[in-house]
Each structure stands twice: as C-alpha cells, then as structure tokens.
Chain A
C-alpha cells in the first residue's frame, strides 16, 4: 500500500485496491482529466464508479475530457475548519460544470466537479473576489506525489456563458 499523500495537514489515502480513485488520480498526475464512459450507453460519469447510473452496465472505459467548463456554483471559506487551510483563507471552492455532456441525459444533469479556484500555476489560491457563477474555467493540475495530482480549476480568458453573478456584499 502506498504511503498516504500529505497535503495541507490531511492524509489522503488511496490504497492499491481503491478501484474507484487510484487510476483517476494517476491520470491526473499525467495532467489528463479522465472520466469513466459507459461501454453500453456511452454516457460519462463522475465520480469514477463501478456501474453506469443510467443503465447499470458494469463495463466502462476511461475517456479524456477537455477540462473546460463554467462555474455552476461556489462558496468562499472565510473560517477554515481544517487546520491546514487556515493560511489559505479566504479560499474559494467551485462547482464546475464541464462542457461535455451538459443537459444529458436529462436537462438538469451534467458532469459537475468540485475543486478550488486557483491561479494558472495550479497551486496558488486565486483572489476570492474574482469568483462568479457563469465565469469560464479550465482544469489545472496540482502535483502532490509521483502517483497523484489534484485536478483543480483556474479562470480562463474565454467569455462567460450566460449570466455572471456574485454574492452581493
């Protein structure tokens, strides 16, 4: 079993038999955002689980996605709970809706992934004031170990899609 990955005071455990996450984070370490696609209906899913949530097919194939998407929702953590995040406050958590498979298989479904809003270097937190629903982002990878990177997101220079909204303060 590999050593836990230490990151911001957390021990991230990905045992050899973690058949959900091990390959996902290994692909991320190669700077590729890979999701599982159903061998029967072709729909992508996240998290990387062992059955298709739409047709129950067990077979799947890793497929790379562009990593481009739109901020669907966000939160700004001002009071950190985890000690390792105290020095990062205020930091932003984003829920990113990926460009692939939006509104499929039903209008309210989409591939949505949680990450932090980082600068383009993939490790520094972005200024919390610059986050807004509707802004465009792209995936960046924060390398943590030889077998693991965290997929994160940075603002892209693309024009926003739809209404841009920020919590009024």
Chain B
C-alpha cells in the first residue's frame, strides 16, 4: 500500500473560545484560530501558502480569511462537509504539498453552530424547502442528525443487546475529561443515571447522549517533516490517513446492510495499512462523539474490540483517563464543544506533545501531575500514538493516525 508515513507533520494548532455567544462573524473567528495556530508553530505571514476549509454554506471562504491575515496563497480550497472533513483535509493538504503546489497548509473550520446555523437542525435548517433525496426522509419528520442516525443505533441494540446504560458511559467518560479542561463548556461530571434519566430526544437517544451546539473556530497546520524540524512546537508525525471512506449506496445506506456497520469497516485497512500498526498500538483515541453511540460504533468497527462488543468496551473503563486507551480526553463534542471534529485532532496533537492545556500549572512546559481528580490533569502519560476516528454519518467516515516526534 502506498504510504507517506512520517513524511508530514502537524506543526501548529489553534482555536477560539467554545461558546454559545460568539457575537462575531465566522470570518473573525477563523482569523483568530489561524493566527493562534501560526503563533503556536512559530510561523510568520510569509510562511503559510496553502489554506483549506470545510463548511456547509455557514462559514467564510479561505481566500477572504487569508487576505485578512496578509497571507498570499499558492493554493486554497473550500470543501462542502462537516464531520470527518478534518482528517480528509489533512490527507489532501499532504497531497497538495506533495505535488509541489504549496509548502504549508492551514486547515480551518469556523462556525456559529449555536447562534447562526444551528447544527441540531432547528431554525434556518428546519425552514429549508424539501427536495431531491431529502424527500425520502425529511417529510417523515427525520431531519436532524440524531433522527437520521437513530435507526442505526436502535438496530445495534436489537442485534447485539447493547444497552442505554453501557453507551451512557461514553458521556460519563467525556464529562470526566471535560472536568479537567478549562475550555470545556460542560465541566460537570455526570453519572450513568444522569444520562439515562435525562429526557428523551429521539429514542434511543436521551438528551445527554447528544452533543452540544457551539460557536467556535479551529485550525491545524500541516507541512513536510523537514520543515517541521525548524518549528517552535514539537512536531507530530502523520502515520496514516483515510478520508471520507464510504459504505456502498451512500445515497440510501439502509439498502446495503448490515446497517449497524459503519464506514470504519472499509477505512480501517487503509489507515492501519499505511501506518503499519494495529489498534493495540494506539494510546489515545478520538472517536467522534456527535452522539454517545457514534463513539462506540467506530471504536468497534476499527477493531478496538470485536464487532458488537462496543457496549462492553465503552463501559469497561478503558476509554476513561486512567484507563488503557482514553477517548476524547478534551471532553469532545459531548462536553467541550462542537467543532465538526477538528478539536479532537487538536487535542491529540497536544497529547502527543505532552502539553495538554489542563489545570496543571506547568502544562505548557509539559509538566503534569497525572492526577485525574476533577479540576486537575488530563495529560495521558507517555502518549506515543493517537488515532482520530472522524464521523460524517453511518456510511461515511475518516481516520488519522499520528505519533509524537
């Protein structure tokens, strides 16, 4: 299998505040996130010459944002997409650099996901006319992501005996992680009973099985490994990437079962094949938590446990800080804030640098206590390899494996 293993790095990461009231444009937020990532990498205005973003008509194009920062670009592209775009764009950035089109690419996602374009589907989204393929679902009261995915989740419970209580552990774990994260919007730890006792949204999803809606911008910067050596931050090497891999019949994936199978079934051989590692080698996962169930479905599909045993895996303690393979140590989309996935890549970059921004006074210098009591540390000791599992929907996903430099 063709691989660019170790030839590219993520050298800078940045984000704005996670809030429900940004009070400004996606353009303003994108500028701040990109500038922070450039400062993080030690890059000046002449040093970034490529830019990519993803959006769904709810953001600002890359060439406007670049101009604000005085960046003259040799390459830019804005793609249509939400979750699973980050990992795919990392791969495309590597490709753009590999061809010689540019040298260093900033990737961003900027969204007023609470105050402008509600990701949950209310407001402007609910008022859109229904046409084309949407006619197969939306007239039946099936418009939001939760409504679109719940049939998959329900069938998993039927086929494998997965319980609400097992899956609730994903929220429990991520709330524990968020309690160590000053940026997180939901820092209170919750119990399994809190999750299954919260009100129903769309069965089998309770309120606390669902992620947040957030105003935020995020950025990661990709460049070649040789350039990365000269930069300020410890480089993080890219071992493998799979971008927007699909099941058959993505237009109507219900037709091609089992519907409990998700895109990772096809993505795992691509990404593990490039990286030359197995799930056992991964220290930290970032399995996209649009819902508690999405984290579970992907972890089992990528082989962190047997297919169908995801409920046992996520309720075993493995995915919590202090467990053998913590997931979404920032609190993720369930508890930190919703970013369409880029924040989970940022978190894993910081884990690999050893400089996670928790409550440890020396965190920026890599000094951590590894005390996982509330309000303390969230650094995983000696994290060497991380894996992000990006989710768009059951039949579409991406993956990214990174190692510390």
Contact = CB atoms under 8 A, between A and B. Distances in A.
Interface string A3-28: 01001101111110010110001000
Interface of B: 120-122, 126, 129-133, 135-144, 147, 150-152, 154-155, 157-158, 163, 199-204, 248-249, 251-252, 254-259
A74 B133 contact: no
B202 A77 contact: yes
A63 interface: no
Contacts of A90: 200
Q: Chain B binding site: helix, strand, loop or mixed by DSSP?
A: mixed
Interface residues of A, number: 52
Contact of B158 (A76, A112, A133): A133
A77 B203 CA distance: 6
Interface in A103-142: 108-116, 133
Contacts of A12: 129-131, 135, 139
Contacts of A93: 140-142, 147, 150-151
Contacts of A108: 256-258
A167 B132 contact: no
Q: 10 tightest A-B contacts by CB? A: A75-B150, A108-B257, A78-B200, A13-B131, A76-B203, A73-B155, A73-B151, A112-B254, A11-B129, A85-B141
Contacts of A10: 129-130, 138-139
A39 interface: no
A12 B132 CA distance: 9
B164 to A, nearest CB: 8
A72 interface: yes
Nearest to A107: B257
B251 A49 contact: yes
Given A93-B147, A114-B142, A167-B203, A21 B255 contact: no
A60 interface: no
A43 to B, nearest CB: 11
A91 B142 contact: no
A140 B70 CA distance: 61
Kindly name the residue among B121, B135, B138, B256 whose own CB sees the greatest number of chain A CB atoms within 10 A: B135
Given A14-B135, A109-B257, A112-B255, A81 B126 contact: yes
A145 B334 CA distance: 42
A86 to B, nearest CB: 10
A73 B139 contact: no
B139 to A, nearest CB: 6
B314 to A, nearest CB: 18
Interface string A39-67: 00000011101000100000000000000
Contacts of B138: 10, 82
B255 A82 contact: no
Contacts of B131: 12-15, 18
Contact of B202 (A79, A110, A115): A79
Kindly name the residue among A7, A11, A81 whose own CB sees the greatest number of chain B CB atoms within 10 A: A81
Contact of B203 (A72, A75, A81, A165): A75
Given A18-B131, A133-B158, A47 B256 contact: no
6 contacts: A14-B131, A53-B249, A75-B150, A81-B141, A108-B256, A109-B256
A11 B257 contact: no
A88 B141 CA distance: 10
A146 interface: no
B266 to A, nearest CB: 14
A95 interface: yes
Contacts of A110: 255, 257
Nearest to A45: B255
